[in-house]
Structure 1
Amino acid sequence: MTTQPDEPYYVMYDEDFGLSGLAGRSEAALPLPLPKGGMEGDEQVGEDARSLLESSLPDDMIRTLWLAADRERFDPVVRGATVRDWLRGWSEAYPARPPKRPKTFVKYRSTMFVEPRRPVLVEEEMRDAVLAEIGAVEADLARAVPLPDIVAVLRRAVAEAGADLGFRLLLRILKAHSVRVDKARYDRFIELSEPFEYCFAVVHDDLEVDWPPVDPARRDADWDFGLSELTGRFAHWYDGTADERLRDAVGADDVRQSPGSAAAVLLEDVTRLLASPLSDDTLTTLWLAASDCGLRPDRLGIDVRQWLEQIAEVCRERLRETAPAYRPAPGPVRADLTDEVLRELRDLEAEFASRTIQPHWQGIPGAAAAQVLEQVVAQVDPDLGFRLFLRVLLALWMPLSEERYARYQVLGERFGYGEFHVSLVDGFIQSDL
């Protein structure tokens, strides 16, 4: 089994790190990559340096590996040092750290605290998986990298310096030499990165991907999306302007989504509501209930339809920038699931009637929220209605039985939601209900 850091990498770093991160720094950020340190991820350079120094890779292979990752901007040999001397400098600047107690990460669920299990890495399995990805892009690497035997060098690095460092260097070399990968391979890179516990930026940032055309019907996001995701951003709104919150949401494509997807699904949700027969009062109640009364459009000097139009325009602006070929068009609705969503709404009718959203500040009665949700499900789109229903459950702090939550999960799967979408309400599960 491979050695893992005391804490997940995604906790320690929010971008590429270690030797691969060092190679990816811009010219301005990296005038001279000597072991002076001081930047996030430099301590991992010491760990990566030791991995290479302890391997049997000859100096010329290590040098080739570094130059390929760094686009030949900095060559230790040209500066009068051997590549091993240079790596020793980093190793000495950042010696191995003594083990420390990992931070505890807890997720609240009812009255229990559950600590997520970290993945168990088997080095042989991870090595074979990384070697398979190198083999899949072998021809592209050989064409793009003007250095001898880069594929053989990468394979040796994986075998002798470890799958973790080898995978990060593979990604960095692909980025450094603008090697394009298709969406399926990109998805495999993301999947492979998860056991290593990287932040998604290690794979995503600067990698050239042949993204499929933007399609609101695709369900590539792991979490909430569209108007329901936007309402969640205003539920506990303490900083920034409304426009900043809106633009953050419009640009928040999931790591697996084609650029512009967040804008496209939000635009579709808003367009459906604006074209629907729902009254202004109904739309206002819907927005306030789902957003936990976090933003009242009248405080911006506009009504709810103007607010929805403003959302739509920001979405169109984003799409013009990122997906100019995209032409919004209404897609089909999942009318076959309308009755099931309505049953779940009506099953909580009494509980809705007994609660109020923000009861101490111009609150929204739960019964009124339930009524407008039923109208969205029946007259607009059961998918949008179900997503907003989940948001209203959060605003009402609605306790849920395990059986009811399981039904929501099944509904979410039928709508094609991502792995963690419905789990946004799992903190209210009570096993004794």
Structure 2
Amino acid sequence: MARRREAYGAFYEGDFGLSALAARVHASAGPVDPQTVLGLAADVAGLGEGEGAVELGTDLRLLLDSAVPDEALRTVWRAATGGRFDPAGHGMDFRGWLRRFAEPYPARARERDSRYGSLFTPPVIDEADLREDVVTEIRASAAEGGAFAAPPFAGLPGALESIAMEADADLALRLLLRVLKVRRIAVGKEQYDRLMALDERLAYPGPLVYDDLAVRWPPVDPARRDAEGDFGLTALASRFAGPWHAHTPHEVLARAVADDETGQTPGSAAAVLLQDALRLLESPLPTTVIVTLWGAASERGYDIERAGADGREWLRTIAAACRGRLAEVAPDHRPGTLPVRTAHSGAVQDLLSELTPELARRTVSPHAHPLPGADVAEAVARVVAEVDPDLGLRLLVRLLAVLAVPLTEERYARFRALGERFGYGAWHVPEALELLVRND
């Protein structure tokens, strides 16, 4: 029976189906008997406003209709639940238990739901490629050492492969992830990235992979650009845009320094923000220029002067928050400013010069403490020339978004190309500028 693929992220916030049941069995307090498992299964079936019954019934039928040996199914189930429930301990063979267990959850197709149809498109999966990729991850985990297949789970890799090849690769992947989490087996960064790529291909809810998964992260390195979107000072400033905030400035700052993306080493967001703060602190820029830059990038959402601080004092506050975060999650990291990459300075200056007349016709926050666009453009130019063209480019991108400056296709393409040269993530420039491109 081939699984009918869904955009699972439309229905669930985390794991689902048989793997979600295994997680609940493992986490269950006290003894687990058949009745307990039935009660937990009802909880899993109720996920997604009752849609969970579809995936649970399909998972069970996939295993029952497969040629996977009973002992292989039992091995995977015991490993995925940490040995918390074994039907053999209650006088049942594994397939017999599955048949009885599956009775309330017959495999059925989901009724089309217009609430999600336009937002979430079911993925198109090449089943042979998926099986091959999942088997690769099973073997990569098995190659990590004895913890994965240690007694009493010596046949675990082969059993998971059998499920991937004979039943369903998606189900095998979710059970593999459950085993890794239950047995606290860490994966390397390269494998983690592959697992997250599978997550995207299968339209999983993101936490299904990364929640509780142990990862051997590489050391924090602010030179490594692995954020998909904006980062550093401009990302922090954008959090302050808007007239109303539910959190104090220091709470916003604390959230920003801890906001590592799912593919980043913990502490990465703090490390790159610290670089920006240190560059400006150590620069020859007057404090008034720093105040102008912050006011523009934050759309006056947090006026540091009215709050009683000058630009460098605010940068020192940012730097202290970054160091605090790094001391907590990456105590071996030794912060320091990296060499400035000047190779593309001229290209950044050219774009800024061309756009300065458009910027000069606009005003940041025109109705409350206005900042003339010409003053901000001059401040950005000084960053490009005297501090760091990378930071200058990010400030220019942010300023164009704040002031809604229209762009030609040609200029937008130049921004995209410069972003790639500086190592920006795939969504950094498009998120800020794509809607500004004129099609006429």
* TM-score, normalization by structure 2: 0.88
What do residues 190-244 of structure 1 show as CA deviations (whole Å, max 9, x unaligned)?
Answer: 2222211123322222222221111100011111111111112112353222222
Moved more, 144-153 or 10-19: 10-19
1:46 to 54, 57, 69: 57
What do residues 316-358 of structure 1 show as CA deviations (whole Å, max 9, x unaligned)?
Answer: 1110111000001111111111111111111111110111122
Residue 163 of structure 1 is matched in structure 2 by 169
The alignment status of 1:375 with 2:352, answered yes or no, reads no
- Please give the secondary structure, in 1, of the residue aligned with 2:185: coil
CA contact (8 A) 1:2 1:121 kept: no
Name the aligned partner's letter for residue 317 of structure 2.
Q
2:332 to 325, 328, 332: 325
- Please give the secondary structure, in 2, of the residue aligned with 1:169: helix
Residue 421 of structure 1 is matched in structure 2 by 428
The alignment status of 1:431 with 2:439, answered yes or no, reads yes
CA 1:36 to 1:13, structure 2 compared with 1: closer, same or farther past 3 Å? closer
Residue 4 of structure 2 is matched in structure 1 by 3
CA 1:243 to 1:161, structure 2 compared with 1: closer, same or farther past 3 Å? farther
1:152 to 158, 162, 183: 158
2:143 to 125, 135, 139: 139
The alignment status of 1:68 with 2:79, answered yes or no, reads yes
2:108 to 80, 96, 99: 96
CA contact (8 A) 1:142 1:150 kept: no
2:126 to 122, 125, 144: 122
Name the aligned partner's letter for residue 288 of structure 1.
G
What do residues 377-419 of structure 1 show as CA deviations (whole Å, max 9, x unaligned)?
Answer: 1111111111111111111011111111110010001001111
Residue 220 of structure 1 is matched in structure 2 by 226
CA 1:94 to 1:299, structure 2 compared with 1: closer, same or farther past 3 Å? farther
Measure, in 1, the Cα distance between the counterparts of 2:135 and 2:89: 31
Residue 109 of structure 1 is matched in structure 2 by none
- Please give the secondary structure, in 2, of the residue aligned with 1:283: helix
Measure, in 2, the Cα distance between the counterparts of 1:246 and 1:9: 33
Moved more, 239-248 or 70-79: 70-79
- Please give the secondary structure, in 2, of the residue aligned with 1:348: helix
CA contact (8 A) 1:250 1:266 kept: yes
What do residues 290-317 of structure 1 show as CA deviations (whole Å, max 9, x unaligned)?
Answer: 1122111245443332222211111111
Moved more, 202-211 or 149-158: 202-211
Residue 391 of structure 2 is matched in structure 1 by 384
Measure, in 2, the Cα distance between the counterparts of 1:98 and 1:140: 38
* TM-score, normalization by structure 1: 0.89
What do residues 263-305 of structure 1 show as CA deviations (whole Å, max 9, x unaligned)?
Answer: 1001111111111112222111101111122111245443332
Name the aligned partner's letter for residue 221 of structure 1.
A
Aligned residues, how many? 422
Report % sequence identity: 44
Residue 248 of structure 2 is matched in structure 1 by 241
Name the aligned partner's letter for residue 3 of structure 1.
R
Residue 284 of structure 2 is matched in structure 1 by 277
CA contact (8 A) 1:65 1:154 kept: yes
CA 1:224 to 1:239, structure 2 compared with 1: closer, same or farther past 3 Å? same
Name the aligned partner's letter for residue 377 of structure 1.
V
Q: Cα distance, 1:17 vs. partner?
A: 2.8
Name the aligned partner's letter for residue 184 of structure 2.
S
Q: Cα distance, 1:45 vs. partner?
A: 2.9
1:343 to 337, 346, 350: 350
What do residues 109-129 of structure 1 show as CA deviations (whole Å, max 9, x unaligned)?
Answer: xxxxxx897642111111111
CA contact (8 A) 1:141 1:151 kept: no
Measure, in 2, the Cα distance between the counterparts of 1:14 and 1:247: 25
Q: Cα distance, 1:153 vs. partner?
A: 0.8
Query: Over aligned residues, Cα RMSD in angstroms?
Result: 2.5
Measure, in 2, the Cα distance between the counterparts of 1:221 and 1:46: 38
CA 1:371 to 1:134, structure 2 compared with 1: closer, same or farther past 3 Å? same
Residue 19 of structure 1 is matched in structure 2 by 18
Structure 1, gaps ≥5 residues long = 107-114
CA 1:88 to 1:239, structure 2 compared with 1: closer, same or farther past 3 Å? farther
- Please give the secondary structure, in 2, of the residue aligned with 1:140: coil
CA 1:141 to 1:95, structure 2 compared with 1: closer, same or farther past 3 Å? farther
CA contact (8 A) 1:50 1:91 kept: no
CA 1:118 to 1:340, structure 2 compared with 1: closer, same or farther past 3 Å? farther
Measure, in 2, the Cα distance between the counterparts of 1:350 and 1:2: 57
2:317 to 310, 330, 337: 310
Measure, in 2, the Cα distance between the counterparts of 1:272 and 1:163: 49
CA 1:216 to 1:65, structure 2 compared with 1: closer, same or farther past 3 Å? same
Measure, in 2, the Cα distance between the counterparts of 1:104 and 1:426: 25
Measure, in 2, the Cα distance between the counterparts of 1:69 and 1:27: 8
CA contact (8 A) 2:25 2:81 kept: no
1:398 to 389, 401, 405: 405
CA contact (8 A) 2:10 2:116 kept: no
Measure, in 2, the Cα distance between the counterparts of 1:346 and 1:25: 59
Measure, in 2, the Cα distance between the counterparts of 1:188 and 1:119: 17
- Please give the secondary structure, in 2, of the residue aligned with 1:175: helix
CA 1:243 to 1:19, structure 2 compared with 1: closer, same or farther past 3 Å? farther
